[in-house]
Amino acid sequence: MKALILDGSTEENFTLKIVHDVIIDEFKNIGWKVNSRVLRDLKIGSCYGCFKCWVQTPGICVIDDVERDIAKETIQSDLLIFLTPVTFGGYSSELKKAVDRLIPLVMPFFIKIDGEVHHKSRYERYPSLMGIGVLPNEDKESEQSFKTLVNRNAINFHSPIHTAGVIISNQDKELIREEIKTLLSEVGVKK
Amino acid sequence: MGLETEKIWIYPSIKSQEKSSDLISAVDHFDTVIFASPLYINSLPASVTETMELIVNHRKTTKMTKKQQLLAISNCGFPGAHHNDTALAIYRLFAAESGFEWAGGLALGMGAAINGRSLNKIGSMARNVKKSLELTATALAKGKPVSQDAVDLMAKQPIPSWIYMQIGEIRWKCQAKKNKVRTKSIYNRPYQR
């Protein structure tokens, strides 16, 4: 089983670093392969919204950079993990840059899911999705917005299972570990 | 109305230090700031998020004394305007964090029906959008928030969802054909494991 972490921290973030290391630890314990991409260290172009990945080079973004590898790694994973400072109730620009360019993984055509229109799937199977956001202080509104966004992304990316959690900065490492374990179990990760 | 206005394209403006400084100065200068963006994966495009991060960082060191209002307009290619709700929630939280008064958000569905064309050239398809923007401009000029009528008009679907979905499918296939991509190839799975 394989997991891909997209780390959207915009600068060295102490809590996100702990979360990241704990996730790697937990996957080692259960024998999963895990690949981590620290997005701020990569040169990723912004999505132009040109839709050429649908009508010119179907399934592949026309921007030839590392995001093509990230899209491939995403669809070939069993679990996709978003790590990010919660930014205005959403993702950091570093994470968003990578997420925007995952659009070639779905089709341009529409389908109704639970009565709501979404894009049809391109692939037979998609990874489950786990979103973990870090907030400096408790902020219920930002937390709710973040969790809603992960939920909406999971529907659009046809994730079989998804979960989202928010961790407040400067928590004890063992408490963070417990929260991560809970989230992993919610998203069906087991040995 | 005789108001001073300026339009800035975000995408090219954050490509250089100089242009992003100009953008931030303009945001500080005006009484009303309007963000208009397409919906990218349930929220704002990364370049808009990056701009908002720059504004918040700038305002950590520069205290704003004047009252400013912020309006957000989000449009999506899905038929239902409600898909924009997550984006508008993010804009509202940004407004609070950066010291703007939240004037409200307008959500537009079926964005592909307009597709960047002038509203005056689209006719009845854009009638409600025009009315909504007129109401909004009048409210903002008076320093008032967006009215519920304007929100409802913007969100109103000009045609039924099923017609829009069928037209959409035909248009995507035509575009692929123009690019010499066969219909079968649109379904390619280049990263299949």
ipTM, interface predicted TM-score of the complex: 0.96
Backbone angles phi, psi at B21, to 5 degrees: -65, -40
Choose among A47, A51, A88: nearest Cβ to B45: A47
What does the pLDDT read at residue A32?
94
Looking at the structure, do residues B70 and B100 belong to the same domain, yes or no? yes
Pair B154, B185 in one domain: no
How many Cβ atoms are within 10 Å of A174's Cβ, its own excluded? 9
pLDDT on residue A23: 95
What is residue B107's predicted lDDT score, i.e. its pLDDT? Answer: 98
Share of chain B above pLDDT 70, in %: 99
pLDDT of residue B86: 98
Which residue in B has a C-alpha nearest to residue A51's C-alpha? B172
pLDDT tens digits, one per residue of B90-138: 999 999 999 999 999 999 999 888 888 888 888 888 999 999 999 999 9
B111/B192 same-domain check:
no
The stretches in chain A having pLDDT less than 70 are 191
B148 burial class (0-12, 13-18, 19+ CB within 10 angstroms)? exposed
DSSP state of B190: T
| pLDDT for residue B4 is more than 80 | yes
Handedness of CA A54, A57, A62, A67 (dihedral sign): positive
Task: Decide: A134 and A164 in contact? Cβ < 8 Å.
Answer: no
Q: What average pLDDT does the segment B47-67 reach?
A: 93
- With cut-offs at 50, 70 and 90, classify the pLDDT of residue B193: confident
User: Residue B3 falls within a domain, yes or no?
Assistant: no
Residues B72 and B166 in one domain: no
B168 shares its domain with B96: no
Same domain, B135 and B167: no
The reply to whether B155 and B166 lie within a common domain is no
pLDDT given for residue B65 in this prediction: 85
Class of domain A2-186: alpha beta
B15 confidence band (pLDDT: 50, 70, 90) = confident
B187 touches chain A (CB under 8 A): yes
Assign B10 a pLDDT band (cuts: 50, 70, 90). very high
Q: Are both B96 and B22 inside the same structural domain?
A: yes
Whether residue B35 lies within 8 A of chain A, CB to CB, comes out as no
In a domain, B109, yes or no: yes
Structural domain that includes position B177: 160-193
Confidence at residue A170, expressed as pLDDT on a 0 to 100 scale: 85
Cα(A23)–Cα(A46) distance, rounded to whole angstroms? 28
pLDDT given for residue B96 in this prediction: 97
- Note whether B183 and B115 are same-domain residues: no
Instruction: Annotate B25-80 with three-state secondary structure.
Output: HHHHHCCEEEEEEECECCECCHHHHHHHHHHHHHHHHCCCCCCCEEEEEEECCCCC
Residue A54 CA to residue A108 CA, distance in Å, equals: 6
Residues 6+ apart with CB under 8 A from B73: B34, B35, B36, B37, B105, B106, B108, B154
Give yes or no: residues B98 and B175 share one domain. no
B41 with A75: Cβ contact below 8 A: no
The pLDDT value recorded for residue B1 is 64
B25 at interface of A, judged by CB pairs closer than 8 A: no
Tokens of B85: 């709700």
* Residue ranges of domains in chain A: 2-186
Phi, psi of A133, rounded to the nearest 5 degrees: -110, 150
Answer yes or no: do B143 and B58 share one domain.
yes
In three-state secondary structure terms, A130 is strand
- How far apart CA B34 and CA B105 sit, in angstroms, is 10
Three-state DSSP at A87 gives strand
Of A179, A170, A165, A137, nearest to A14 by C-alpha is: A170
Structure tokens at A138: 């408790």
The better pLDDT of the pair B113, B50 is held by B50
**B-chain residues near A55 (CB < 8 A):** 172, 175-176, 178-179, 181, 186
pTM of the model: 0.96
Query: For residue A191, what pLDDT is reported?
Result: 67
Q: How many other C-beta atoms can be found within 10 angstroms of the C-beta atom of residue A140?
A: 8
- Which tokens is B132 given? 């909504």
User: What DSSP designation does A122 have?
Assistant: S
Query: What pLDDT, on the 0 to 100 scale, is given for residue B63?
Result: 83
pLDDT of residue A98: 98
In order of A15, A18, A144, B18, the CA distances from A168 in angstroms are: 8, 12, 14, 35
Q: Is A103 on the interface with B (CB under 8 A)?
A: yes
Q: Answer for the pair B191, A72: CB distance below 8 angstroms, yes or no.
A: yes
Query: What is the percentage of chain B residues whose pLDDT exceeds 90?
Result: 82
Is residue B5, in this structure, part of any structural domain at all? no
Q: Which helix (H) or strand (E) holds A17?
A: helix A14-30
Residue B4 inside a domain? The answer is: no
Q: What is the CATH number of the domain that holds B119?
A: 3.40.50.360
Per the structure, how many domains does chain B have?
2
Task: Mark whether B28 and B101 lie in a shared domain.
Answer: yes
